[in-house]
Amino acid sequence: MNSLRIIETDPNSASILAIYRSSKSLFDILVDYALLQKQNETLTNLKEKVDSQRRYNENILHQTQSEIQQLKIQNERLHFLADSRQTEYEQAIRAKQTLFKEKLDLDRQLQQKIREYDDCLDDRNNMRAQIFHLFENGNIKGHLHSFSSMIDNEILIRQGVITFNSIEELYEQYMKTLADIRETDRFILELEETHSKEINEITQRECLLKENIEQLRLKFDQTRTDINIQTLAKQVLDREQNQNLPKVILTTTNIQTDMNLNDLKHIENNIKKSNTNSKTSSIRIPKFVEH
- The predicted structure's pLDDT at residue 56: 92
Q: Is residue 10 part of a domain?
A: no
For 39-71, the pLDDT digits (tens) are 889 999 999 999 999 999 999 999 999 899 999
SS3 12: coil
4 is a domain residue: no
Does any domain span residue 5? Answer: no
- For residues 201 and 11, give the distance between their C-alpha atoms in angstroms, rounded to a whole number: 103
Gyration radius (Cα) of the chain, Å: 51
Residue 280 resides in a domain: yes
Q: Which residues of 145-184 are buried (b: 16+ CB within 10 A; e: fewer)?
A: eebeeeeeeebeeeeeebebeeeeebeeebeebeeeeeeb
> Which one-letter amino acid corresponds to residue 217?
R
Tell me what the pLDDT averaged over the chain comes to: 72
CB contact burial 210-219 (16+ within 10 A = b; e otherwise): eeeeeebeeb
For 246-259, what is the mean pLDDT?
A: 47
Q: Counting beta carbons within 10 angstroms of the beta carbon of residue 198, is it exposed (0 to 12), middle (13 to 18) or buried (19 or more)?
A: middle
Q: Which residue has the higher pLDDT, 13 or 62?
A: 62
pLDDT at 270: 62
In a domain, 7, yes or no: no
Q: Which residue has the higher pLDDT, 283 or 184?
A: 184
What does the alpha-carbon distance between residue 56 and residue 248 come to, in Å, rounded to a whole number?
10
pLDDT digit string (tens) for 233-250? Answer: 888 888 888 875 454 444
In a domain, 3, yes or no: no
Alpha carbons within 13 A on the beta-carbon side of 56: 15
Alpha-carbon 107 to chain mean position: 32
Q: How far apart are CA 112 and CA 194, in angstroms?
A: 12
The pLDDT of residue 125 is 76
Query: Would 9 be classed as within a structural domain?
Result: no
Residue 1 inside a domain? The answer is no
pLDDT per position as a tens digit, 87-96: 989 998 998 8
Cβ within 8 Å of residue 239, ≥6 positions away: 271, 275
How many Å apart are CA 71 and CA 76, to the nearest integer?
9
* Cα distances (angstroms) measured from residue 142 to each of 49, 50, 133, 168, 285: 136, 135, 20, 12, 130
What whole-number distance in Å separates Cα of residue 148 and Cα of residue 139? Answer: 15
Instruction: Answer yes or no: are the C-beta atoms of 28 and 1 closer than 8 Å.
Output: yes
21 pLDDT higher than 90: no
Give the chain's domain count: 1
For residue 59, give its domain range: 15-290
233 in Cβ contact with 71 (< 8 Å): yes
SS3 call for 279:
helix
